[in-house]
Amino acid sequence: MITYMLATMIILLMLGFPMMIPLIMAALVGFYMTFDGFGQMNIMIQQMMGGIRPTALIAVPMFILAADVMTRGQSANRLINMVMSFIGHIKGGLAVSTAASCTLFGAVSGSTQATVVAVGSPLRPKMLKAGYKDSFTLALIINSSDIAFLIPPSIGMIIYGVISGTSIGELFIAGVGPGLLILAMFSAYCIAYAYIHKVPTEPKCTWKERMVSIQEALWPLGFPVIIVGGIYGGIFSPTEAAAACVLYAVILEFIVFRSLKAMDIYKIAKSTGLITAVVFILVAVGNGFSWIISFAQIPQTILGGLGINEAGPIGVLFAIAIAFFIACMFVDPIVVILVLTPIFAPAIASTGLDPVLVGVLITLMVAIGSATPPFGCDIFTAIAIFKRPYWEVIRGTPPFIFMLVLAAILIIYFPQIALFLRDLAFR
């Protein structure tokens, strides 16, 4: 049965159908073969509706809406200016500022694509003017946006938490350590690149200019305070924190900064509605797909045939990392999380792995895959935003992919990188 399901997905993908169509058709093929027809189709519909029923999913459109408001307003630029004022003058400081800004904006948006747009649009021209090659600049922006998928709030972690039943609050705090590790690795590479290619430094800001930039960024810095402080201070649930972020973003951009007008509300709502509709359709279809493969015991068959159940915790983590990485090179990250998480669930349970550690690793690997050729979604976001050819966008990615894979290996062998803050907050 799994052969027919995979063949259906591959054929429809090659024909150019949107991802939701191959996924639902593969699920229907599996349903037909399992139940000898469509007479009990109501079961599949119930499973699909059940996939979008968890209240935690309400956080997804809320964070998308907040990110859209901030991207169109001044919050992103104010955060970037603050980072630039402190480290822009060091060797490679502009590149390091780009990576740091992606991290900081990730603490606001939780979306890799939003980060590419919000940070890449203002900083790419500055980096090109400063003497950085466009291939390096594009690769830095695309891969630094991966950090946004790890730093809370993370849409990928919300989806994984809903599918696996893992605490979203624990997942959020566990993503901070790996995110900062990757930022440190990228910063070191940026400094080395600047020295090797003799990139000139930027003028140093005075302390007065730095204080002004901090003052301007104080309001946007309230977002991570609301998210992290609110959740771990016991004030908000992750869903409530998302709603508070929307309210805060609207107040900032429409009232305090006055960067948006009433006529912008329609555009923002339309954009958020379209993205949310796609995400929820994928979640519903993915839940139906996951149910049918679980009902048919396909995960047990696949894992047993590959011997993964006997591989031990480290072996299972490596298998998960490789599978999610490769899948996201071709398919949307949300779809990969929805489809592959149930397949590996038996192996995760049998080896006693911490689901929070697994969630962090999965989130990292789908982020890497989404910025990796041939079809990583962040690559095509950059092509659309910066109007550059495909080969130029991917030319500088190998060093960053190597560092990201190295970070994943370190997390596998040293899980406290991810679990230290979680244990500190929840144990």
Q: pLDDT of 204-219, one tens digit each? A: 889 999 999 999 989 9
C-alpha–C-alpha distance, residues 160 and 175, integer Å: 13
pLDDT at 399 over 90: yes
Q: Which residue has the higher pLDDT, 171 or 60?
A: 171
Per residue in 55-85, pLDDT (tens digit) is: 888 888 888 888 888 888 888 888 888 988 9
In the predicted model, what is the mean pLDDT of residues 280-286?
82
User: What pLDDT shows up at residue 132?
Assistant: 92
CA–CA dist 140, 120 (Å, integer) = 9
Question: Locate tokens 């339309």: which residue?
Answer: 270
Between 317 and 338, the higher pLDDT residue = 317
What's the pLDDT band for 371 if we cut at 50, 70, 90? confident
On the question of a cis peptide bond just before residue 122, with omega within 30 degrees of 0, the verdict is no
Residue 303's pLDDT is: 64
Alpha-carbon distance of 185 to 174, in angstroms, equals 18
Is there a contact between 131 and 160 (Cβ–Cβ < 8 Å)? no
Secondary structure tally for the chain: helices H, strands E: 24, 0
pTM: 0.82
The pLDDT of residue 309 is 63
Output b/e per residue, 137-171; b: 16+ Cβ within 10 A: bbbbbbbbbbbbbbbbbbbbbbbbbbbbebbbbbb
pLDDT band at 146 (very low <50, low <70, confident <90, very high): confident
Flag whether pLDDT at 330 surpasses 80: no
Q: Are 154 and 111 in contact (CB under 8 A)?
A: no
List the end-to-end C-alpha distance of the chain, in Å, as a whole number.
Answer: 44
pLDDT value at 402 more than 90: yes
